[in-house]
Structure 1
Amino acid sequence: MNTKTLFGLLLMGVLLLVASSSLYIINETERAVMLRFGAIEKDDLKPGLGFKIPFVNNVRRFDGRVLTLDSPPERIFTIEKKALMVDSFAKWRITDVGVYYQATSGEERTAVRLLSQRVNEGLRNQFGGRSLQEVVSGERDELMADLTRSLTEITKKEIGVELVDVRVKKIDLPDDVSGSVYDRMTSEREKEARDYRAKGREQAEVIRADADRQKAVLEAEAYRESELIRGDGDAEAAAIYADAYSRDPEFYSFVRSLNAYKNSFKGREDMLLVDPKSDFFRYLNDSKGKSDK
């Protein structure tokens, strides 16, 4: 290999190095700035292929997608000075890459720290002006929407990022107060339970007394109706018997004697001392009931 060829190869390598240092590519999901010796030359570079001065300009790329800020739980007080442990998260993205680079020097950890401070301060302001009932009720969505709007105006100016959404994952009582709160809640529930039981017993007594009254009324009406039916039956039976006996007095006398025999000799130990010729044995002595007298 002669000197001329070697020189040509070296020149080609230098040109390739310069060309590669002069080109850059920005993806659709990225935001970028062009720096010249550390100062911003161009901000918000468009996606695609671009050119820069090699060894003078430098391109810094940042994630332009929606990112998540997951903050640790913070102790926050409500307007009644009640402490709560609030666990929240936020969704954010870069909107002004120039302001973002100046505020954070291009470090995402710095951006996360600044955003976390702003979100924590905003939550304290929002919770500090509301009661516990308002915080845990359906007004929480409105609270988060107000917080997102107010924080976005600040973070766009200071950090160059937009807060897409701020949400509370969980609200708990601190460990040092949860025990007393749970004990108070338990005592309140026990008091309510005693009240409900007392009201239930009172209603049960009312229902039982009414049922006993209805039972007595139904039994009295049933007894009265049964007595009326029995009286009507007895009257009808007496009328039938009277009609039957009036038609054949001798048959009536015979039936009455049979009933007397039946009732007199129920047990083996029964004993009667009666004159055999008395009227009591008239049908035993004569089937036609003729008396010897």
Structure 2
Amino acid sequence: DTKRFFVSVGAGDVNTRLAQIVNDLSRNEFGKRTVQEAVSGDRGEIMGILRQQASNRAAEFGVEVVDVRIKRVDLPVEVSSSVFTRMEAERKRVAAELRAKGAEEGERIRAQTDKERTLLLAQAERDGQRIRGEGDATAAARYAAVIGTDTDFYDFYRSLEAYRNSIGTNRDLLVLDPDSTFFRHFDNARAGAR
């Protein structure tokens, strides 16, 4: 309606007035709904309601609103920060839950690995003891066989072992009579060398 438009708006900017009307109406409509409802399926319904109400209000300017489209929903700063805080808390909760599950799985794997390690070490120790026992038995049998055939050699060998274990370290001090039985093989060696 050109006459009504010219009388009510004159040389003014009708776009600014219409934008204000649509802003006010959209705030009212979005205020009635949750963010999920506004962003999801109710969006088409909201645009229809806004078009109808904006057209009714714009009729006083002699203008008909044919369509209203929602490009984005800007929330007030306090609502946005509240939404972001909730979103952050939810993400932190999910992250903490995932970390807890990871830690639990890690502990389970470490426990299983420790169990297998302990079992392997026990089996290795058992096998080592068995092999050492077999070696000691073989050595003892051979010593017995040698001792039975040459007791003088065994006596000499044991004396060498005693010399090796008691003489030759810097910290040991032996005070012995040179005529003691400990040195009997030295005396025999001197006699043989003469």
Tell me the TM-score normalized by structure 1: 0.42
**Structure 1 residue 270, shift from structure 2 partner:** 0.2
2:26–2:50 contact (8 Å) kept in structure 1: no
- Residue correspondence of structure 1 range 82-101 to structure 2 within 5 A: 99=1, 101=2
Of the three residues 238, 242, 253, the one matched with 2:140 is: 238
Report how many residues are paired: 180
> Could you tell me which residue of structure 1 aligns to residue 5 of structure 2?
104
> Could you tell me which residue of structure 2 aligns to residue 255 of structure 1?
157
> Could you tell me which residue of structure 2 aligns to residue 172 of structure 1?
76
Deviations 1:137-157 (A, max 9, x none): 5x18x6167416851796399
- Residue correspondence of structure 1 range 122-271 to structure 2 within 5 A: 122-135=25-38, 137=39, 139=40, 143=43, 146-147=46-47, 151=51, 155=55, 158=59, 159-163=63-67, 165-168=69-72, 170-174=74-78, 181=82, 192=93, 203=104, 207=108, 210=111, 216-246=118-148, 248-266=150-168, 269-271=173-175
Whichever residue aligns with residue 69 of structure 2, its letter is: D
Tell me the TM-score normalized by structure 2: 0.57
The gaps in structure 1 that reach 5 residues or longer are 1-98
1:147–1:166 contact (8 Å) kept in structure 2: yes
CA root-mean-square deviation: 5.0
Q: Who wins on radius of gyration, i.e. which is larger?
A: 1
Distance 1:103 1:111, change over 3 A: farther
Bigger fraction of residues in helix: 2
Deviations 1:188-219 (A, max 9, x none): 67x959x76x958x849955983665555454
> Could you tell me which residue of structure 2 aligns to residue 47 of structure 1?
none
Q: Report sequence identity in percent.
A: 27
Bigger fraction of residues in strand: 1
**Aligned partner of residue 69 in structure 2, secondary structure:** strand
**Aligned partner of residue 165 in structure 1, secondary structure:** coil
**Structure 1 residue 271, shift from structure 2 partner:** 1.7
| 1:272 pairs with 2:180 | no
1:115–1:155 contact (8 Å) kept in structure 2: no
Distance 1:170 1:233, change over 3 A: farther
**Aligned partner of residue 154 in structure 2, secondary structure:** helix
1:155–1:161 contact (8 Å) kept in structure 2: yes
**Aligned partner of residue 72 in structure 2, secondary structure:** strand
